């Protein structure tokens, strides 16, 4: 199954109050394996960048001033997303900004039924634990030492690793059928997990024959001072083969 892991950076917290999306990073996964296909873009928000937001992601007015408007890249983004499920951390936040940007340029919003929220997955597995991306990466031993500031593509890469852990870990060899074929194709044929076509063989008889049972009794009877008979005869109990 194809899935898209994505993250956004914004000018603030509320798209209904004029905040805008300034960066999006998307990573393609097939059968829970990253294929290497990505979509990454910065956007000119057509407004100033609050200092508090810039402190989080480091994207300044100067840096964003020559970047494309969202409307110019919307078609390319939607082509990459396709109809796949979209995975994000605190996904309602990212969906809110993405759909507001789509609405601004006259495009249909993305169906919320495609949303997969890794915070919801993490809460189910670790109730009461810290749910930040940093905290969950630490829990699962995901290296984030190169993350000095938030960045949409970098955070999507970390989230992809976290998503794998939250949905069963890296045991990709346990998949079957078409999903396995999709994984191998996505990985460039480097994973040998495809089912092997073997001829059917009827199960062999596995019950001991009467002759085998008789030989076994003779062998056991020849063992002197067998541990399983200790104490039995002294207590007047039958031994194992009496």
State whether 66 and 179 are in the same domain.
yes
State whether 113 and 156 are in the same domain.
yes
Share of the chain above pLDDT 90, in %: 65
State whether 122 and 52 are in the same domain.
yes
* Axis crossing angle, helix 152-166 with helix 118-125, rounded to the nearest 10: 40
State whether 10 and 64 are in the same domain.
yes
- Split into its structural domains, the chain has a count of 2
What confidence score (pLDDT) does residue 10 get?
Answer: 97
Summarize pLDDT for 83-138 with one digit per residue, the tens. Answer: 999 999 999 999 999 999 999 999 999 999 999 999 999 999 999 999 999 999 99
List the catalytic residues.
Answer: 150
State whether 58 and 137 are in the same domain.
yes
Q: Provide the domain limits for residue 203.
A: 199-242
- Can you give the pTM of this predicted structure? 0.69
**Model confidence band, residue 210 (pLDDT cutoffs 50, 70, 90):** confident
- State mean pLDDT over 13-39: 96
**Model confidence band, residue 238 (pLDDT cutoffs 50, 70, 90):** low
Residue 192, domain member (yes or no) = no
**Residue 103 is part of a domain; what is its CATH number?**
3.30.420.10
């Amino acid at each position: 199954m194809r899935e898209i892991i994505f993250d956004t950076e914004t000018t603030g917290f509320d798209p209904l109050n004029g905040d805008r999306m300034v960066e999006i990073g998307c990573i393609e996964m097939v059968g829970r394996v990253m294929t290497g296909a990505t979509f990454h873009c910065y956007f000119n928000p057509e407004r100033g960048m609050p200092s508090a937001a810039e402190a989080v992601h480091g994207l300044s007015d100067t840096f964003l001033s020559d970047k494309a408007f969202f409307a110019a890249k919307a078609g390319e983004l939607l082509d990459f997303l396709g109809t796949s499920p979209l995975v994000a951390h605190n996904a309602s936040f990212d969906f809110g900004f993405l759909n507001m940007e789509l609405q601004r340029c006259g495009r249909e919003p993305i169906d919320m039924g495609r949303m997969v929220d890794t915070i919801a997955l993490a809460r189910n597995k670790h109730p009461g634990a810290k749910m930040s991306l940093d905290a969950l990466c630490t829990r699962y031993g995901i290296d984030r030492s190169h993350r000095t500031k938030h960045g949409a593509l970098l955070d999507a890469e970390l989230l992809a690793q976290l998503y794998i852990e939250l949905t069963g870990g890296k045991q990709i060899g346990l998949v079957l059928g078409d999903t396995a074929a999709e994984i191998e194709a996505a990985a460039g044929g480097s994973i040998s997990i495809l089912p092997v076509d073997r001829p059917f063989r009827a199960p062999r008889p596995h019950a001991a024959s009467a002759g085998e049972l008789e030989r076994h009794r003779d062998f056991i009877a020849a063992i002197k001072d067998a541990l399983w008979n200790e104490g039995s005869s002294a207590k007047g109990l039958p031994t194992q083969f009496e």
